[in-house]
Structure 1
């Protein structure tokens, strides 16, 4: 019974997020909006966290399996990825460097 309740909460937030995205037309995917709604609902205490815990643990336990369709979908765009390897590599390294610097500065200032 707890899995049904947990999945109902997760999928309700997902469908609500997809509905908001479809109605507003924002560039943020509906699944991300749904996760933000789930986060907001749980952090405000509107729904007890143990109600969603079982389903979340099940999804996290099988997360590697959920990335298979994405990996297979990337194969459709292999020629596009190979022609743009340098910009992809530079943006990945650049953004990683920015994150590393920001975290380093924030940690340095927090320790003072």
Structure 2
């Protein structure tokens, strides 16, 4: 019964997120909005954590399997990926560099205190 409740809670948050995205036309995917709704509900104590924990553990345990369809779907766009390889590579390296710099600066200031 705990698994059913857990998946129901996750599913309701997903559907709320998709509904908000459809109504507002935001560029953010509905699944991300749904995760933010779930996070907010858990953080504010509106939803007990044990209600979602069992389903979350199942999804996390099988996460690698859930990425297979996405990876296979990328094969449909292989020509698009090869045409934009340099742009993808530069943006990935640039954003990684920015993240490393921000973490380094934040750690530096944290260690000073």
TM-score (ref. length: structure 2): 0.98
Q: Displaced runs of 4+ in structure 1, greater than 4 A? A: none
TM-score (norm 1): 0.99
Q: Structure 2: 5+ residue runs without aligned partners?
A: none
Hey, what's the Cα distance between the residues in 2 that align with 1:73 and 1:107? 39
Aligned residue in 2 for 1:28: 28
User: Where does the alignment leave 5 or more consecutive residues of structure 1 unmatched?
Assistant: none
- Which secondary structure state, in structure 1, belongs to the residue aligned with residue 26 of structure 2? coil
String of CA shifts for 1:47-84, please: whole Å, max 9, x gaps.
Answer: 11011000000000000000011001100000010011
Q: In structure 2, what is the equivalent of residue 109 of structure 1?
A: 109
Q: How many residues align?
A: 112
Q: Distance in 1 between matches of 2:111 and 2:13?
A: 38
Equivalent residue, structure 2, for 1:54: 54
Q: C-alpha separation between the residues in 1 aligned to 2:85 and 2:25?
A: 30
Q: Matches of 2:100 and 2:68 in 1, distance apart? A: 29
Q: Distance in 1 between matches of 2:39 and 2:4?
A: 19
Aligned-residue Cα RMSD (Å) equals 0.5
